[in-house]
Amino acid sequence: MSARDAVYTHGHHESVLRSHRWRTAENSAAYLLAHLRPGMALLDVGCGPGTITVDLAARIAPGRVTAVEVSADALELARAEAERRGRSNIEFVVSDVHALDLPDDTFDVVHAHQVLQHVADPVAALREMRRVTRPGGIVAARDGDYAGFIWFPALPELDQWLAVYRTVARANGGEPDAGRQMLSWARRAGFTAVTATSATWCFATPEDRAWWGGMWAERIVRSDLARQAVASGAATEQDLLRIADAWRNWAAAEDGWMSIPHGEILCRA
């Protein structure tokens, strides 16, 4: 597999988009917010359905955001979100983070949320993000770390869910345990001034459990991950149905709790 042809594990099934559309600048980019100023030029790489992108655009207005996606279909999701929320200070560009079709030294901030875990060469991606950042600007990235997920109650089928996800993500050329490697990747990309932090999402209320558990119960049988898991032999359809039941059981458990860690890097260009 070459540097540029990793497969995006999740795809864009409605159950995946439901998960991504929950994201805001506050719950997913809090480590960056204090560095944003009105008038900045910001690039959001791998913007997906664009809820974070639109939040960031509101914060830097009258500055402009450039939203990048690797495929035109994915980019249309972000364009629709911007239109729905009446946000017009966003440009949309189809490009690959490994070779951005953008000039050197252009942006004050270059941001990527949950993207580096899916690309085949995250170090090259960070170098490319730095190339388009103006000297003194910021490259900011945040990724989850699947091996670091913890939950209660202990359900063996959720252990299997984690194993299946990590196997498929790796076979696709990604790194599911990205969070812990962010600082290492930044240093290998040549950054010397790096602030590395971590932050969690926690799902513990009945509403949050119903949303997160219900989303994964559907996603594990209907999204691209399900198709790839069965095709690769990582799981059978019966396994996936059992895992979906376990997600529903976890969501219904009154003491159900889950913590999802993320690694974050703020790198000075």
Ligand X SMILES: C[S@@+](CC[C@H](N)C(=O)[O-])C[C@H]1O[C@@H](n2cnc3c(N)ncnc32)[C@H](O)[C@@H]1O
Sites of contact with ligand X (CB under 6 A): 8, 10, 20, 23, 45-48, 52, 68-70, 74, 96-98, 113-115, 118-119
Residue 252 CB neighbours (<10 A) = 12
Query: How far apart (Å, rounded) are the C-alpha atoms in residues 45 and 247?
Result: 31
Query: How far apart (Å, rounded) are the C-alpha atoms in residues 60 and 255?
Result: 40
What's the length of the chain? Answer: 269
What residues does 196 pair with on adjacent strands?
265
Q: Is the peptide bond before 153 cis (omega within 30 degrees of 0)?
A: yes
* Min separation Cβ 60 and ligand X, Å: 16
* Min separation Cβ 174 and ligand X, Å: 9
Q: Looking at beta carbons only, is 155 or 229 nearer to ligand X?
A: 229
Q: Looking at beta carbons only, is 95 or 259 nearer to ligand X?
A: 95
Q: Looking at beta carbons only, is 63 or 122 nearer to ligand X?
A: 122
Q: Looking at beta carbons only, is 45 or 234 nearer to ligand X?
A: 45
Q: Looking at beta carbons only, is 47 or 139 nearer to ligand X?
A: 47
* Min separation Cβ 187 and ligand X, Å: 21
Q: Which of 119, 132, 169, 117 is nearest to 3 (CA)?
A: 119
> Which residues neighbour 175 within 8 Å (Cβ) at sequence distance 6 or greater?
116, 117, 122, 169, 181
* Min separation Cβ 254 and ligand X, Å: 30
What residues does 257 pair with on adjacent strands?
152
Residue nearest to ligand X (CB): 48
* Min separation Cβ 154 and ligand X, Å: 27
